[in-house]
Structure 1
């Protein structure tokens, strides 16, 4: 059973989309009004190189997770078909990409990604998560996300380049930065933590700042559709790359499991932070389209901010 007020049953007994249901056609049209200049920014980390080189390890990631792999076999030594003649002097290059999204690249979590007890979000049986995929609450139910995005640039608000590793953002600080959060909004949290990677991967792995449980409840109470961040877990991590909170206060359980709020993690938000610092308001059009991986617990995404 869930521990506190939640969205189970709110959108019907068969619901598998959670608060993405709030993104009605009217809500999407209203969100599009947030674009005023037409500038488009990608909020994704790059996927770089194959594990036969050092390239993948140059991108922030959680230690010990399988790195994304991009193969080409131009030299005959990699996985894909590489370049080959296709007639009339033309040649074609092929790729193969292998990705474990969680903890290694920009991605969106499905509602089946985490749960407690024997039930997924909305009371769907956890036994439906199998080795061949989840037959309930998989990422394919998310569809395309077009929402009003709100940037909470927490370190800039505090006069910092990035938050300290042990910083947990309270709900009161979010309210101080922006209290104009509307149902269906996609809230984007900048911690600045990816900046530490170029200084030292060891510093990046020493822990991570993130939202507190109170901040998660503050956002859930405002009916947001998505919570996205440049850190790896929305909440904070310790030096073992684990959350310190118990089940009642775990951010994934508060947002994904109890309230059906999809999470997007490991975004790159530096250009967006600079752009929003130089304009009136911090809202924009947020666009994300997870792959239709049937039964997937998550998907890589290339989220866009349209200013």
Structure 2
């Protein structure tokens, strides 16, 4: 299937983010009433959990107060600190670039899978090709709808999305960022060995319904957006269909509990990936403006 290929031209590397134009930005900005700002990002530290095949975040101080206590020079009395971070790009709250997942040796828009090289990264569809995101967010709050977090392996289908949209009294449409609160991240609070093998999330039918509504991106408060474990014989089927076939980026690991407490189903969303050339994703700190 090549559902969105060539829709924005043979050289397009932005995918569904093309659906956010000036009209969508103005509509989103018009939602701002109180001016309250809410972060949707997890804090990042060496304690931020991640799947075992990824290294954790490592934080190093290059210059600190101890250097001066040990006799470090302070010309004119000036002192400073600085540090470095080593981390996987798919950790905490992050966005998947369109080069992150594919099948049959073809990326979104027909670009070759071997355009991603270990020596140089992705020459096509890297996160550096992703524009800043300013659009309307639609919050589908299943914790509120069900009165508790979804069961560990609950599969959110099309009918569930329709029910949640009706409860939020919202029509999902062009350029929207659909954010799904499953309660998974909240349920991991205090868990010392988080499992990344089971989580509630959307199924392929739900993913395709959203893509066909012309949404610009899909986010959730879980590890992979989609339900885990996968259906028999499948491996990341939602990633394959959304990223590779429709060019829809995925915003994973969102912190949605605080914004849900504001009882707003739509709001202005602002986010921007780090423009790391050839990278497959980026940590980011998305912000809701009410």
TM-score (norm 1): 0.86
CA–CA separation in structure 2 for the residues paired with 1:245 and 1:182: 31
- Give secondary structure in 2 for the equivalent of 1:218: helix
CA–CA separation in structure 2 for the residues paired with 1:156 and 1:264: 21
How far is the alpha carbon of 1:75 from its aligned partner? 7.3
Aligned partner (choices 6, 13, 19) of residue 3 of structure 2: 6
Alignment correspondent of 2:162: 175
Alignment correspondent of 1:253: 240
Are the structure 2 counterparts of residues 13 and 91 from structure 1 closer, same or farther at C-alpha, using a change threshold of 3 Å? same
- Give secondary structure in 1 for the equivalent of 2:79: strand
How far is the alpha carbon of 1:86 from its aligned partner? 5.4
Alignment correspondent of 1:23: 20
CA–CA separation in structure 1 for the residues paired with 2:155 and 2:286: 24
244-253 vs 26-35, which moves further: 244-253
CA–CA separation in structure 1 for the residues paired with 2:278 and 2:99: 9
2:49–2:56 contact (8 Å) kept in structure 1: no
- Give secondary structure in 1 for the equivalent of 2:219: strand
CA–CA separation in structure 1 for the residues paired with 2:76 and 2:261: 48
Alignment correspondent of 2:255: 268
Aligned 1:156-235 pairs, distance under 5 A: 156-160=144-148, 162-178=149-165, 180-202=171-193, 204-205=195-196, 207-235=198-226
CA–CA separation in structure 2 for the residues paired with 1:171 and 1:271: 26
Deviations 1:147-195 (A, max 9, x none): 10000111210111x1111101111111111150010000001111112
How far is the alpha carbon of 1:244 from its aligned partner? 3.7
Aligned 1:281-296 pairs, distance under 5 A: 281-296=264-279
Alignment correspondent of 2:288: 305
How far is the alpha carbon of 1:101 from its aligned partner? 2.3
- Give secondary structure in 2 for the equivalent of 1:237: coil
1:152–1:190 contact (8 Å) kept in structure 2: yes
- Give secondary structure in 2 for the equivalent of 1:284: strand
CA–CA separation in structure 1 for the residues paired with 2:8 and 2:206: 24
Are the structure 2 counterparts of residues 85 and 154 from structure 1 closer, same or farther at C-alpha, using a change threshold of 3 Å? farther
CA–CA separation in structure 1 for the residues paired with 2:233 and 2:25: 36
Alignment correspondent of 2:61: 72
TM-score (norm 2): 0.90
- Give secondary structure in 2 for the equivalent of 1:88: helix
How far is the alpha carbon of 1:205 from its aligned partner? 4.4
The structure whose RCO (Cα within 8 Å, separation 6+) is larger is 2
2:49–2:194 contact (8 Å) kept in structure 1: no
- Give secondary structure in 2 for the equivalent of 1:92: coil
How far is the alpha carbon of 1:222 from its aligned partner? 0.4
How far is the alpha carbon of 1:26 from its aligned partner? 2.1
Alignment correspondent of 1:52: none
CA–CA separation in structure 1 for the residues paired with 2:155 and 2:21: 33
Pairwise CA RMSD of aligned residues? 2.1
263-272 vs 189-198, which moves further: 189-198
Does structure 1 residue 63 correspond to structure 2 residue 57? no
Size of the aligned set, in residue pairs, is 281
How far is the alpha carbon of 1:232 from its aligned partner? 0.6
CA–CA separation in structure 1 for the residues paired with 2:33 and 2:251: 24
Alignment correspondent of 2:108: 121
Does structure 1 residue 147 correspond to structure 2 residue 125? no
- Give secondary structure in 1 for the equivalent of 2:23: helix
Q: Mind listing any 5+ residue stretches in structure 1 that lack a counterpart? A: 49-55, 78-82
How far is the alpha carbon of 1:285 from its aligned partner? 0.5
1:166–1:208 contact (8 Å) kept in structure 2: yes
CA–CA separation in structure 2 for the residues paired with 1:195 and 1:248: 25
